[in-house]
Amino acid sequence: MADLHTVNKSPFEKNSLETAIRYSLAGSSILLLEDGVYGATKGTAMEGMVKDAMGDRKVYALRSDLMARAIKEDRVIDGVQIVDYAGFVDLVEANDKVQAWL
Amino acid sequence: MSDVKKFMYLNRRAPYGTIYAWESLEVILIGAAFDQEVSLMCMDDGVYQLVKGSDTSQSDMKNFMPTYRTLGDYGVRHMYVDKASLEARGLTQDDLIEVAWEDFETEEEVDNIVEIVDADQVAKLMAESEVVFS
């Protein structure tokens, strides 16, 4: 049993990512997309929280949204996996359900 | 010229996830066209509006970042960036676009009008403005 949690809001403006991390189980996956990808960047005030979550959860970020926001791969937190739209579909398929944190 | 007012546009939203940044840019261009004294203030997620290197080729969205570089030509005189917001996001001035400005009458030139300011300066600049749009 594992769920995919999607977060599409900036962690600096809304607490969606923080809450998603707090209420997601070990073994679940968190996909950052749209403004949510800002949570995947190195050197921010949110980096520690994301790294802690990665201890027992997988964190992904959508490539096209990283590109639009000028976040180069070397600025993405180590361990965050970058996926394209096909990878998004694979994640949906691999998990029991999708829970969106808007 | 007594009709000239000091306008400040306060940008606090990231560029693509919502329409705020795009709409703000449109309003800035309109204000500048009326020969007002126009400044931008980017804080919170608004600092992301000035990060260089955006590529929307895989997003099916228009990349409107190049428009920011032209704001100097439209008479925007200052583009301020809140230092604390930048630092919280792991960004420095090197991550930001550069925007040149020139007064075509006096030939006064400024290479880059993007300027990082601290909290005290932000408060002072906003207080000094006659109109603050957000």
pLDDT for A1 equals 67
- For B99-119, what is each residue's pLDDT tens digit? 999 888 888 999 999 999 999
pLDDT for A2 equals 94
Domain that holds residue A25: 3-101
Chain A residues inside the 8 Å CB shell of B54: 67-70
Q: How far apart are CA B93 and CA A39, in angstroms?
A: 20
CATH number (domain holding residue A86): 3.40.1260.10
Q: Which two tokens stand for residue A22?
A: 């707090």
Mean pLDDT across chain B, nearest whole number? 93
Q: Which two tokens stand for residue B16?
A: 């693509």
Mean pLDDT of A15-30: 97
pTM of the complete model beyond 0.80: yes
Domain total of chain A: 1
Q: Edge to edge, what strands does the sheet with B37-42 contain?
A: B114-117, B76-82, B37-42, B6-11, B131-133
CATH assignment, B6-133: 3.40.1260.10
- For B3-44, what is each residue's pLDDT tens digit? 888 999 999 999 999 999 999 999 998 887 888 889 999 999
In the predicted structure, residue A24 carries a pLDDT above the cut 60: yes
Mean pLDDT of B47-60: 96
Phi, psi of A68 (to 5 degrees): -60, -30
- For A35-90, what is each residue's pLDDT tens digit? 999 999 999 999 999 999 999 999 999 999 999 999 999 999 999 999 999 999 99
Domain ranges of chain B: 6-133
Residue B65 identity: M
In three-state secondary structure terms, A13 is coil
Q: How far apart are CA A18 and CA B42, in angstroms?
A: 24
Q: How far apart are CA B109 and CA B99, in angstroms?
A: 11
Which of A80-89, A91-100, B66-75, B115-124 is predicted least confidently?
Answer: B66-75
Count of Cβ atoms closer than 10 Å to residue A55 Cβ = 8
What ipTM was assigned to the predicted interfaces of this complex?
0.90
| H helix or E strand, kind and range, residue B133 | strand B131-133
Q: Pairing relation of β-strands A58-62 and A29-32?
A: parallel
Q: Which two tokens stand for residue A62?
A: 């959508």
| H helix or E strand, kind and range, residue B76 | strand B76-82
| Residue among B17, B51, B53 minimizing CB distance to A10 | B17
Mean pLDDT of B54-79: 94
Q: How far apart are CA A13 and CA B88, in angstroms?
A: 12
- For A78-94, what is each residue's pLDDT tens digit? 999 999 999 999 999 99
pLDDT for B18 equals 95
| Residue among A8, A12, A63 minimizing CB distance to B89 | A12
CB contact under 8 A, B45 and A13: yes
CB contact under 8 A, B16 and A70: no
In three-state secondary structure terms, B45 is helix
CA angle centred on B91, ends B86 and B94, rounded to 5°: 115
B-contacting residues in A 43-102 (Cβ below 8 Å)? 43-45, 47, 63-65, 67-70, 72, 75, 84
Chain B residues inside the 8 Å CB shell of A7: none
Q: How far is A1 from chain B (nearest CA, A)?
A: 31
